[in-house]
Each structure stands twice: as C-alpha cells, then as structure tokens.
Chain A
Amino acid sequence: MSATTTAPKQDGFSIGRLLLEGRAFFALIAIIAVFSFLSPNYFTLSNLLIMSSQVAIYGILSVGMLLVILNGGIDLSVGSILALCGVCAGAMMQGVTLDFAGVILYPPVWAVVVLTVAIGALVGALNGVLVAFFKVPPFVATLGVMYVARGVALLMTNGLTYNNLRGQEALGNTGFNWLGFNRLWGIPISVIVLAVVATLAGLMLSRSAFGRWLYASGGNERAAELSGVPTRRVKITVYTVSGALAAVAGLVLASQLTSAGPTAGTTYELTAIAAVVIGGAALTGGRGGVRGTMLGAFVIGFLSAGLVIIGVSSYWQTVFTGAVIVLAVLMNSIQYGRGGRKT
C-alpha cells in the first residue's frame, strides 16, 4: 500500500530531476523540432552537416574552455589565439623568408599545422604560468593575453587578411583546404576533428588520473594540494590545452573561409563560455562534462542557424542567444544551489 501511494510522488520528482539534469539535451531536441516545423529545409542531412561544421569551431574552443572552467578559471584569450594562429598559418603558407640564408621556406601543410598548434599551446602556457606561478587572477591574465595576441596578429598582417592559402603544386604545400572542405564518409573533416577532440577530452576527464586531479583542484584546490595533487601543473596544462585547441579551431576556420584574418574569432571566447555554461558546468569549478558542453555548443549553433534559415533578423538572434544563456545559468543555480547549501 505504502509503496503505491509514494510511487507517483517519486515519479514526479524524478521527471523534474531528469528534465533539469538533461536540460541541454531537451533544449536541443526542442530547437530541432521547432525549426523543422517552421522550415522544410532545416531537418535535412545536408543542412545538419553544414550546421555541424559551423558548430565545430565553437565546439573545439569550448572543450578547451571546459577544462579551464573545471579548474575554476576562465580563458578570455581563445578568440584572439584563434586569430593569431590563423594568421601564423597564413603567413607560413605564403612562405617564410629566412634573410640570413637568403631563402624562402615553404613548409608542407602538416608542418604548418604542427607549428600552428605549438604556437597556440605556447600562448596558452603563458596564460597558465601567469595564473599558476604569478597568481594573476585568470580573468585578468587571459584578458591581457587576449589583447596582446590580437595586437600581434594585427601587427603581423598590418591589419590585412591572407586570402591565398591554397599553396602551389610546385612548392608541395597544397592541401590546406582539406580541413575545411573535405569530407570523410560524407562527414565534414571539421566535425570529425571535433568528435576526436571531444572523445579524447571525455576519456581524459572520466578515466585518467589527470581528469580526477582536474575535478579535485577545481572543486577545492587546497584539499587537492594537501592530497598530493600537483595543482600548478594541472593549471598550466589546462590553459596550454585550451590554447592548443584554439589553434586547431583557428586552422579549421581559416580553412573553411580560405582566408586568415587578424580579426577572426572576435567574441568567440564568449560563445565558448556560453556553450560550457549551457552544458551545465559551474563557473566556480569542479562540475561539468564534455557531453554537456557539446550539447551546449550545438544548442547555440543550431539555434542561430535555425533563426537564419527562417529569416529572423540577426539582431534577434543575439537576443535569443542571450536569453538562452541567462536561462541556462538560472537552471545551473537551481541545480547546484540545492546540493551546495548543505554543509
């Protein structure tokens, strides 16, 4: 008897709980359903793939951002690192003049990719060192690096854009467009890159010792340190990875646009933060996951693309995106507010 009377109550509770915890997932389903209803072109394979390849840029950035946010930090510099790395890649595609040797070096595309990612990682590591060793608050450190990286990108190009990234057959450096345009088994390469990045990050977070260190130091750095977690190393690593992933995103974007400009990726850091937050991560650190962040990135991407398809003004897109972010943060505080109050 008592079991039957309490059963409905528990059901109601768990449905509410399910909706709350899977909110990003249900939001994505709702977005797809609404836009499919409004436009016949929305729910087609080709459109979904095009939208996904756009999401890939934000998605790759937001994986890096997630790691930083799990650590209790924030990385405002990823948009600028993206641009800087794109410009560096563009410059390398134009050929690197070595004055002392009197030659112009045309590195092959794979070398360009490796060097670019290394540059991104280096700038990210700079963030990490500032935060971990010089105790600069993450917000300020990455804000500074954001300006510096953007400035260097502008200086390198004099504010202009590299439009020719195709390379030349004779120089053996063709193939840069592969990242942005080609498909493997019908899937855009950028989406595959995102999938690989997300899978690796997910495995690292859930299965590796480093992942556990990251969650612990984000949840309570003092306790983690006293438990033998190398908290500084964890910090530097997450900012380095975030920088490297910004470089990857920069490469994908430059390849998709077939151009590399110093103003690319402006405000992308904010979109990446939004994706992480919509995905349920706590800005105070220690809570969140790759799955949520991916859903968050797709919610933002599919929402704005859908609004474009049904012909809503881009000004309204901004309003909608903002509303979604505020709603997500509100839900986060409901979810964590309950559990967190207990001491």
Chain B
Amino acid sequence: MTRQTQGAPDAREVVLAARNVAKSYGNVHALKGVNFDIHRGQVTTLFGENGAGKSTLMKILSGVIQPTTGQIILDGQPVSFANANEARDRGISIIHQELSLAPNLSVRDNIFMGRELRGPMGVDFAAEERQVRALMEELEEEIDPLTPVEELRLGQQQIVEIARALSVDSRILIMDEPTSALSASEVEVLFKVIRDLTARGVSIVYISHHLEEALTITDHAVVLRDGTMTAYAPRADIDLDWIVRNMVGENYDLGQPPDSDKREVALSIRNLSVPDATGKDLVRGLSLDVRAGEIVCIYGLMGAGRTELLETCAGRLRATGGEIVLEGQEISHLSIAERIARGLALVPEDRQRDGLVQTMSVGQNLSLASIRNFTRGLFTSSRAERKLIDDSIRSVTVKTSGGAAPIGSLSGGNQQKVVIGKMLATRPRVIMLDEPSRGIDIGAKAEVFRLLAEGARQGLAVLYSTSEVSECLSIAHRIIVMHKGRISAEFDSTVSKEKIMAASGESVAA
C-alpha cells in the first residue's frame, strides 16, 4: 500500500487533525481509523468512491455526528462537538451539496438566518445589509444583498453560502461536491474565491468526484476506500493515476464483459430530446442502440443527462422529439406499466425516493412490479406470490430473514438488490439501471454486476449509468460517454480510464 501517513513536507501550521477517527453503526464500520492534518490556508481534498466514508468523515469534522473512537484536534487541543452549531462556533463550517438556503428570502436574510442582528426596533436590517455588502466586496462578487436567492444562479448561491460561513468567522470550510452542478465558468469563479480564501488563511476541506478538477485546486489529498484511509500525500507527489489507484485498489475487480452473443437490437433510441421544466434540453438529439445480450455503460458527470435519458425511456418523463423503439415497436406513447409489460424495466437512481416502498415488507417490495403475474381472477394468490418472492430472494441473493422482514432492516446493498430483483421479476428484455452502485459497498457492487453479466449471458439487454470510471471498465461491452445531453464519445471495453474521463469533461464540449 502507498500509505504515506504523517509528516507532510509542508511545515505550515496544522489547524485541524484527525487521529484514528473511527465510526461504527452497529456492525457496520463506516470509518476505520483515519489520520490526517488540515493546514492553515490550504486546500485538503478527500477522494473516494461512493460509500468510501467521505461523508461520514465530513460529518464528524463538522460536528454533525460524533466519532465512535479517535480524536479531533483543533489548534492542538482535543475537541468534541456535541452538534454542528458547536463546531461552527469554533470556526468550522460546512457547505452541503444540497444548498441550505431559503430560496424565497433575500441574500441578506439568508446570511443572517437564525442569528438576526437585533436593534432597539427589532431586526437591524441596515446593519445586516452593510455587513453583507462588505462580505461581497471581500469576495469580489456583485451580488445585491436584497436579491431573493431564487433569482441567483447556482454558482452565486454557493457564494452566498460561503459568505454565510465567513460571516461567522469560519476558519475551516468544508465543501461537499461544490462544483457538481456548476458550469465551467462558475467553477472558475468558485476556484478564484477558494484561492482568495486560502490566501487569507482559511483552510478548505474539499470533496469532489471530479478528480481532475480537484487536482487543480488542492494542496493535499486524502484518499478513502471502504472506510479506510488508503493514502495521504501533498499535491506535489501525486497525479490522477495515483488517486484512481488508491481509490479503487489494485485488485479491484467488478468482472469482465460476458462473452454473450449479441443479437438483434432490443432498445433503439432515435434522436431523443428531453427538456427540463424551463424548456432547456437536458438530452439533445441522442441516438443509441442496445442489443440483446449486450451490456452498455453510460458514463457522465452529474447533470450530463443520464438520469433524464433513462427516465424518459422508462416513461416517467416525456420527450419533445425522437423515438424510443423496443424490439421494433415504437413505445413513446405507452404508460410506464405498459412499457414494463413489454419488457422494459428501470432501476431508478435514488432507491429511497423512487425504488422502495418503506411501509412494505421485503417480499411486497419484490413482488410490487409483477402483481399481475400472481393474480388469479380477482384475488392475488399468496402461494404464487410466495414462490415469486422466494425465487427473487434466491436469484438476486438478498440477505434477509425472509420476505416478511421490513425493508428498512436491510443494508443499502441488499435494498438495492431488492429494487433490481423487483424489476427482474417482471422478466424484462431490456433493463436500465441508473447508478446501480450508488451508496453500496464493494462486495454488493460486485454481486450486482455479476447479476447483470449473468442476465446478459441469457440474452438480456443491459443499459446502466455510472459516474465512476472503474465501473465502466468492468462488465460493459460498450462505453458511452455523455456530456451536456449528448454522446461525446463511444469506446469499447479496452479503453483507458483517462480517455473516458477526458471525454466527459469540459475540454470536449461541442
């Protein structure tokens, strides 16, 4: 292992340090002993795949949760925060991926939310406004304090969040994927602000999936994998390859493309366009064929249009143009239920929101999409249902005490298998999976991929999306890279990680 703990060559002052920080939830070890330092006026980036423990670590640093063992050392003193407010009082602020601003309120009211300046006549709006103007000047941003936040662009909203953190004299700013929803020019602005902040002595903890982008801004890198810190090194010693190697491990295997015979085209997408609520196209004139027995991977950053593409095929969203052809039949006008009946199934990205019914049991979730298959006349046959549930539990290897167990009792990986099992029980010809590996551990990930490879071997057409390069180079026969609603590149399974990443970035923008 390339563990380079302790003794970063840079001798600048350490403001915050983690010493053997570990966090367990019951038997689940989310974080297993992490050590690193955050230096004054520098950017420290946390790298790691989903489920590696980044967000757990971040929550510990910002006081949202407490570590099971280990210490947080602030300015040389061991500290423990009871909650996020205590951490903020000590100068540590966090900016979440989902911004926590009230869109209906003005910039000023957002910045002073919950700690309004009191004057003799109630809130002293004039003083608040003066302070906000001063902050914006410091950040060199022209944002009027009285503008409602909803009228600002996303990048500007992020600046407002940063201003809010600065207004409470934060010295350490934790940013969770701050660039994921920003345009290239907005990222430039954000990076300029980050450089200004570090010049003033503010330390930044930066979390990003966009490795290349993060490398341009960071001073130190901490890499996590499966709750363990696999590497810690200053920027001068590392490159992209080093990060990827440490993120995914040397012997990290999600399987190979199965040697199934690729037959006729099962799903054909022709010139498809999908608009968002404002009429801007999220998917623009995209065409794609998937053959029976073939596995196709769609790689792209957040906002590339992957989810919209898949949800349109499944029937949740309406296209403005183009055709979706399933085994020779145009299906654009069909309902979700009719598409499922014809063999097109979607495993959605957010399994809590779109995949599972939390009030139902494991078994009822598994059988939900194929109720008609065990309905005899007016009533469901509980025997046929039990058989379907037992078969599903076995074929997708759900670890559960049985079909009657509540769905909340399963781990993330097993919940994901339930969602996949539910759609496989409809006996689809084409299965689409939106980020099937999101938030599940590596073991479960490998099992999910094995399941898909097995399906393809039996003639299933598989289309899955991912934002992690290592998952492209596993079972997929073909890799499609999406960028801003279009296909920016297409590769076979022998391509290098760097090429895929390059095709997804801003550099290939049309």
- Which among A225, A228, A342 has the highest number of chain B CB atoms within 10 Å? A228
Residues of A within 8 A of B355 (CB): 223, 226
What's the nearest-Cβ distance from chain A to residue B415, in Å?
A: 10
Does B64 touch A at the CB level, under 8 Å? no
Does B406 touch A at the CB level, under 8 Å? yes
Contact A340–B358 (Cβ < 8 Å): yes
- Number of B residues contacting the other chain (C-beta, 8 Å)? 35
Residues of A within 8 A of B336 (CB): 225-226, 228
What's the nearest-Cβ distance from chain A to residue B176, in Å?
A: 18
- Which among A212, A230, A285, A343 has the highest number of chain B CB atoms within 10 Å? A212
What's the nearest-Cβ distance from chain A to residue B17, in Å?
A: 31
What's the nearest-Cβ distance from chain B to residue A171, in Å?
A: 39
Give Cα distance in the complex from A219 to B406, angstroms.
Answer: 13
Stretch among A17-25, A27-35, A88-96, A202-210 lining the B interface? A202-210
Residues of A within 8 A of B341 (CB): 228
Contact A226–B314 (Cβ < 8 Å): yes
What's the nearest-Cβ distance from chain A to residue B406, in Å?
A: 6
Give Cα distance in the complex from A50 to B72, angstroms.
Answer: 70
Give Cα distance in the complex from A286 to B406, angstroms.
Answer: 13
Partner of B378, one of A208, A219, A220, A342: A208
Does A6 touch B at the CB level, under 8 Å? no
Count CB-based A-B contacts (< 8 Å).
88
Give Cα distance in the complex from A287 to B423, angstroms.
Answer: 24
Residues of B within 8 A of A342 (CB): 408-409
What's the nearest-Cβ distance from chain A to residue B369, in Å?
A: 4
Interface hits, A228-243 → B, CB 8 Å: 228-230
Contact A225–B356 (Cβ < 8 Å): no
Contact B371–A223 (Cβ < 8 Å): no
Stretch among B45-53, B134-142, B214-222, B346-354 lining the A interface? B346-354
What's the nearest-Cβ distance from chain B to residue A342, in Å?
A: 4
Contact A225–B316 (Cβ < 8 Å): yes
Give Cα distance in the complex from A219 to B355, angstroms.
Answer: 11
Does B380 touch A at the CB level, under 8 Å? yes
Closest to B368 in A: A227
Partner of B380, one of A208, A222, A223, A224: A208
Contact B358–A208 (Cβ < 8 Å): no
Residues of B within 8 A of A339 (CB): 406, 408
Closest to B335 in A: A230
Interface hits, A254-302 → B, CB 8 Å: 282, 285-287
Contact B337–A230 (Cβ < 8 Å): yes
Does B154 touch A at the CB level, under 8 Å? no
Interface hits, A318-343 → B, CB 8 Å: 339-340, 342-343
Interface hits, A119-133 → B, CB 8 Å: none
Contact B354–A222 (Cβ < 8 Å): yes
Contact A219–B314 (Cβ < 8 Å): no
Given contacts A209-B371, A226-B348, A226-B354, contact A219 B340 (CB under 8 A): no
Given contacts A207-B379, A219-B360, A342-B408, contact A224 B371 (CB under 8 A): no
What's the nearest-Cβ distance from chain B to residue A36, in Å?
A: 37
Residues of B within 8 A of A224 (CB): 357, 368
Does A78 touch B at the CB level, under 8 Å? no
Residues of A within 8 A of B399 (CB): none
Contact A212–B368 (Cβ < 8 Å): yes
Given contacts A213-B371, A227-B368, contact A343 B357 (CB under 8 A): no
Closest to A341 in B: B408
Does B359 touch A at the CB level, under 8 Å? yes
Partner of A226, one of B346, B352, B359, B380: B346
What's the nearest-Cβ distance from chain A to residue B366, in Å?
A: 10
Contact A226–B357 (Cβ < 8 Å): no
**16 sample A-B contacts, Cβ–Cβ < 8 Å, listed by A number:** A207-B378, A215-B360, A216-B368, A219-B357, A219-B358, A220-B354, A224-B368, A225-B316, A227-B422, A228-B341, A230-B337, A285-B359, A286-B357, A286-B358, A339-B408, A340-B358
- Identify the 3 closest CB pairs spanning chains A and B, nearest first: A286-B359, A219-B359, A228-B337
Q: Which positions in B face A, CB cutoff 8 Å?
A: 314, 316, 335-337, 339-341, 346, 348, 352-360, 364, 367-369, 371-372, 375, 378-380, 406, 408-409, 422-423, 426
